[in-house]
Amino acid sequence: MIRCHTRIEQWAMREPFEIAREVITDQPVLLLTLTDGAGHTGQAEAAGVDYDGETPASMAAQIAAVLPQLHDGLTGAELLQMLPAGGARNALDCALWDLRAKQTGVPVWQAAGLAQWQPVTTAYTIGLGDEATTRRKARAARHYPLLKLKVDAQRHLDVVRMVREEHPAARIVVDANQAWSPGLLRALLPQLAQAGVELVEQPLARGQDAALDGLQSPIPLAADESCTDRASLVALVGRYQFANIKLDKCGGLTEALALAAEATRHGLGLMVGNMCGTSLAMAPAFVLAQGCTYVDLDGPLLQQHDRAAAMQYDHGVIQPPRPALWG
């Protein structure tokens, strides 16, 4: 039988990280380790989906409930039936991918059917703040080519303007985290397009997606909170142009790869995101990043510390994870 161990951890942010719905000072995560009879281990980390009420403790409880079902031949497909989409399944699934790589010597990228393993460029996120803070962060981020700006219903165009003044060469995407109304979205889009914003992420509240029907947006829209697993795609097609896939939302790399393939078949572009966390959370998402137009895997850049054998970041370019970390 496969043995499973979980541990709850707290990772401090470099400074308070504000988005439309909350301010984060520490990121709690669940660390999961699978061990087989020969002593091979696989690890993974999950933050869960906090806005759906998930916590490391609730994820640990979900995992404890299925421990009797874990067996030596366990597959990702079985996990899809065993647990719902969310952080608990993400932790188990990604640890299983790592365990199989350690058992077989076949790297995860090969097992996932990739032809090669390439560095990717991540967006760097600037959270909400006052003008002095926003300008300071934009100046400090001048070596990042792609910035993701958190905005809300009051702070939006001014944030873009300030960042443009401090980092004129930046490519910019904005993320409203469900904070806008349909009317505000329509009012802002022409001005955001004029300012050179190239993507708007989750402008409306989840469940209000139908308000996008008929909208001729000058900027592509990306579904984040509205995009969970494959079951969510029916509400996205024709309304959004990109799907932001996060392993914590969809429940692991197995579902993420299937979701990416299905989204592509429906004509949606791909983005990979994160719920914050260490390099151990970014590593399996890096597999998905190989096929994404937009990559947002900057979690470790926003935290004070990282794992041993951490992923290497240089001016936003992420190198593939080392086997000592994952995969």
Residue by residue, DSSP assigns 86-138 as SHHHHHHHHHHHHHHHHHH---HHHHTT-S----EE--EEE-B--HHHHHHHH
For residue 111, being part of any structural domain is answered with no
pLDDT above 90 (res 1): no
Coil/strand/helix, residue 211: helix
Residue 324 forms part of a structural domain: no
Last residue within a domain, chosen from 43, 76, 105: 105
Question: pLDDT-based confidence at 20, cuts 50/70/90?
Answer: confident
Burial letters 207-232, b for 16+ CB under 10 A, else e:
eebebbeeeebebbbbbbbbbbbbeb
Across 19-34, average pLDDT = 90
Q: Are residues 99 and 165 in the same domain?
A: no
Domain CATH number, residue 98: 3.30.390.10
Inter-residue long-range contacts of 194-197, CB under 8 Å, 24+ positions, other chains counted: 195/157, 195/160, 195/161, 195/164, 196/164, 196/172, 197/160, 197/172, 197/173
- In a shared domain, residues 13 and 52: yes
Domain-terminating residue out of 78, 105, 132: 105
Angle at 315 (CA atoms; ends 314, 316), nearest 5 degrees: 90
On whether residue 239 sits in a domain, the answer given is yes
Q: What is the pLDDT of residue 308?
A: 94
By residue range, what is the domain housing residue 40? Answer: 3-105
136-185 tens-digit pLDDT:
999 999 999 999 999 999 989 999 999 999 999 999 999 999 999 999 99
Same domain, 138 and 96: no
Q: Do 97 and 128 have their domain in common?
A: no
Report the C-alpha gap between 76 and 316 in whole angstroms: 31
Q: Give the C-alpha separation, 228 to 249, whole Å.
A: 5
291 plus 166 within the same structural domain: yes
99 with 141, same domain?
no
Residues 6+ apart with CB under 8 A from 131: 158, 162
Q: Indicate whether 133 belongs to any domain.
A: yes
User: In terms of domains, do 38 and 138 share one?
Assistant: no
CA distance 248 to 256: 10
> Are 99 and 161 in a shared domain?
no
CATH number of the domain within which 291 lies: 3.20.20.120
pLDDT, tens only, 186-231: 999 999 999 999 999 999 999 999 999 999 999 999 999 999 999 9
Considering the domain boundaries, does residue 327 fall inside one? no
Tens of pLDDT, residues 278-288: 999 999 999 99
Q: What is the pLDDT of residue 317?
A: 98
Sorting pLDDT into bands at 50, 70 and 90, what band is 274? very high
Residue 168 forms part of a structural domain: yes
Same domain, 95 and 232: no
- pLDDT tens, 28-55? 999 999 999 999 999 999 999 999 999 9
**Are residues 56 and 199 located together in one domain of the fold?**
no
pLDDT score for 29: 97
Is the domain of 175 the same as that of 34? Answer: no
Question: Rounded mean pLDDT of 287-308?
Answer: 97
Q: Which of 105, 135, 150 is the last residue of a domain?
A: 105
pLDDT of residue 103: 97
Domain count, the chain: 2
Q: Is residue 172 in some structural domain?
A: yes
Q: Is residue 24 predicted with pLDDT exceeding 90?
A: no
Say whether both 8 and 79 belong to one domain: yes
